[in-house]
Chain A
Amino acid sequence: MKTFKGGIHPPEEKDLVKNNPIVDFPLSSTFYVYIQQHLGAPAKPVVKAGDEVKKGQALSEPLGFVSAPVHAPTSGKVKTIAKMVHPVTGLLAPCIVLDADGNDEWAEGLPLKRDPFSMTREELIGAISSAGIVGMGGATFPTHVKLSPPKDKTIDVFIVNGAECEPYLSSDHRLMLEEPERVIGGTMIAMKILGLNTATIAVEANKPDAIKLLQEKVPPEIKVEPLKVKYPQGAEKQLINALTGREVPAGGLPMDVGAVVQNAGTCVAIYDACAKGLPLIERITSVTGRGIRQPKNIRVRVGTPVKEVIDFCGGLNDAAKIIFGGPMMGIAQFSDDISIMKGTSGVLVLTEKDTNISNYGACISCGRCVEACPMCLVPSTLSKLGEKSMWEKAMNNDLLDCFECGSCTYVCPANRPIVHFIKHLKALQRAASAKKKGA
């Protein structure tokens, strides 16, 4: 079975939620929609307090090409634009507070009925861009940018990422299992945009039911490829390497080796945007972990308060950590006063027993991190440099090639927070280069 070099195999822990069918989360009375839900240039709000909005109406407009708007998750009245803690940056960030009117009324003309395959490439990209679609695996890079490679890059590989290699999470699994037609529809649209007549849907072998179903449903030009169960199989560069043998050059992008990767959930959003004109206002999220009483896979609107989501799933049970995303790369939250975002693939609640709260010791040079690193770096060296804030030396040790998958830290017997040290070094490097630019 296809895979990449390095990586780890942590307990999968998917049994907690993988067999629970998707349930619709009931409409909340108040929504909190962060304006910045994507990676890239900022966006600015186009509504103000007191405005009546309809479901699907744009609430912000992107400032630049690499940016994305957000849309009203339901109909109602804008209460205010407040500063709230942003789940990804941890900083206060503008957030549109929307009081629902309970009618859940679509903006005029939505949903549309149209044939995406009779649309031009530009029309399709425009539909994706105005729908505010971002990478839903968690990276939240604007999708229309990924689907518009510059002319000098020849794309010959399109991969749908259904690996879902993060432990615990099952949102992509359920989506592929329950709505394979939409996944495949989105895949076909992306193929049309990229001018390709083949695509591969890559799924880790621990989802045999989804693999089997997709294999039955896909047209002959789409291949369903089972992958070895190994973390981080779903990381873009590792996924491309596993399927094609190509290595994205250091500091480069997938398109440098002719590849484009989209998450399975993103494909569904692409389908909805192109075939029905619907903006990205809802997603599938796995609410799971032993710290939650009734783990569920929910279809939830962007902007729904996490507190309500937790209550809907039976409430907390000895919660030690609340995480947006999976246990390997997800972000620990310091409050439940936050809301679901476009990139929230999971709300993971870990108990103290399941998480890792203890001190770290000295590096014993065991080499396990070197063996685990999918980028073939020497994480132990980076961690020692991080301890001493020596970012310049770390740059000579490939600091920026690390994408913080956490494999090194997972295996470190001395429990060293290697990823933390690396983030610290990267922050120092960023600050120094910003200063240099300013000077």
Chain B
Amino acid sequence: MKDIVVSSSPHVHSPEDTPWIMRQVVYALIPGALVGVYFFGIPAITVIAVAVVSCVVIEALWQKLTKKDITVTDGSAALTGLLLAMNLPSGSPWWLVVLGSLIAIIIGKQVYGGLGNNPFNPALVARVFLLISFPVHMTTWPQPRSFFSQAADTVTGATPLGALKTAIFEHGTITAAPGLNLMDPFLGNVGGSLGEISALALILGGIYLILRRIISWHIPVFYIGTVAVITGIFWLMNPDAYADPAFHLISGGLMLGAFFMATDMVTSPITYKGKVLFAVGCGVITVVIRFWGGYPEGVSFAILIMNALVPLINKATKPGKFGAQ
């Protein structure tokens, strides 16, 4: 008889493995990335390519230097690269992207022991690091144009949330902010990070992930829902000082954050109950920063702060075991 294998049960396994999951998330990001490429042109492609390649290379090099197994084939480094690119302005210089990748992979992930052990979303760690260290680069937003009419000089401008914040700082009321057709941020025709501009494209990708059962609906629905409810209450109380909820939902990084960043499996709670708590926390912090914080946008900070609470949330929401009295 030929050699047979002896190992513990079960002896069969679902075909859905980690690389498969990572691939599904990449597929789900494609619509959002394509919108970015359409409106920001070749520079967007460059940022994506540099981020993905440098994340993969940096992870492989780190693992080689630290004599660990090289696990870049699990797809997580490539996904981190893509997510980082989605969170950067399309005009980011190459060195900024490489630096971000370095921070994401080394500081965000590998120092904790690599995939599965990092408490914070690596792409967001990098984004926030860059935002604090290179505020000018990180808030220089090229304005969207059709891919087919890309001219040589890029015009830059504010994001809708940035314009809102400026109006409040300078005039104490949002009515001074330039009017915005909500269809623009829905389709992506606004300034912003490369991958956050089109709510529609991100929602489509998010729905794909939910249908494929990669993520559950709890985090996006409760995150977006919390933002809608709180901004709605304040808007009803004082529409001159607070923008309406529709504006808050589809501008800025909320959709990217709610569907793709807050749902990162490693850094979000494990149970449904925990996910709901986590998402509500993300929503509250996002609104607090948007309303009263120094930054116009609070999604990245909100998710990172809630990431830190995940172990506690997991502990508090441990499922009641079968047969518990």
B260 to chain A, nearest CB (A): 15
Please tell me the number of chain B residues within 8 Å of chain A, measured between CB atoms. 42
Nearest CB of A to B59, in Å? 13
Among B14, B265, B324, which residue has its beta carbon within 8 angstroms of that of A364?
B265
Q: A249-B325, A401-B322 are in contact. Are A361 and B6 (CB under 8 A)?
A: no
Which residues from chain A sit less than 8 Å from chain B, CB to CB?
A: 5, 8, 10-11, 167, 237, 241, 247-252, 316, 319-323, 327-334, 336, 348, 350, 354-357, 361-367, 370, 374-378, 380, 398, 401, 404, 406, 409-415, 417, 419-420, 423
Q: How far is the CB of B210 from chain A (nearest CB, A)?
A: 14
Residues of A within 8 A of B113 (CB): 362
**Residue B153 at the A interface, CB < 8 A?**
no
Q: Identify which of A316, A332, A378 contacts B11 (C-beta below 8 A).
A: A332
Task: Give, as a whole number of angstroms, the nearest-CB distance from B17 to chain A.
Answer: 5
Tell me, yes or no, whether B156 is within 8 Å of chain A by CB.
no
Question: Chain B contacts of A410 at CB under 8 A?
Answer: 10, 12-14
- Contact between A250 and B325 (Cβ–Cβ < 8 Å)? yes
A364 near B322 with CB under 8 A, answer no
By the criterion CB–CB under 8 Å, are A250 and B7 in contact? no
Chain A residues near B7 (CB-CB < 8 A):
321, 332, 357, 417, 420
Minimum CB–CB distance for B117 against chain A, Å: 7
Known: A357-B5, A417-B7. 19 other contacts (CB 8 A): A5-B322, A167-B12, A250-B323, A251-B323, A330-B11, A333-B4, A356-B13, A357-B7, A364-B18, A365-B116, A365-B265, A365-B267, A370-B270, A375-B322, A377-B319, A380-B270, A401-B322, A413-B14, A413-B21
Chain A interface secondary structure, helix, strand, loop or mixed?
loop
B136 on interface, CB distance cutoff 8 Å: no
Docked Cα-Cα span, A252 to B12, in Å, equals 30
Knowing A361-B74, A365-B265, A413-B18 touch, does A319 contact B12 (C-beta < 8 A)?
no
Cβ contact within 8 Å between A247 and B322:
yes
List CB contacts (< 8 Å) of B197-216 with chain A.
216
Closest to A422 in B: B8
CA distance A401 to B324 in the complex (A): 10
Please measure, in the bound complex, the distance between the C-alpha atom of A334 and the C-alpha atom of B8, giving whole angstroms. Answer: 12
Q: Is the C-beta of B16 less than 8 angstroms from some C-beta in chain A?
A: yes
Contacts of A414 in B (CB 8 A): 17-18, 116
Given contacts A249-B323, A361-B71, A377-B321, contact A355 B6 (CB under 8 A): no
* Interface residue? B99 (CB, 8 A): no
Is B266 part of the contact surface with A, judged by Cβ < 8 Å?
yes
B320 within 8 A of A: yes
B114 part of interface (Cβ distance < 8 Å): yes
Contact with A along B110-136 (1 / 0, CB 8 A): 000111110000000000000000000
Asked if A10 and B1 make an inter-chain contact with CB atoms under 8 angstroms apart, the answer reads: no
Closest A residue by C-beta to B19: A413
Q: Which residue of B lies closest to A246 (CB)?
A: B323
7 A-B pairs with least C-beta separation: A406-B10, A362-B116, A356-B13, A420-B8, A250-B323, A367-B270, A327-B12
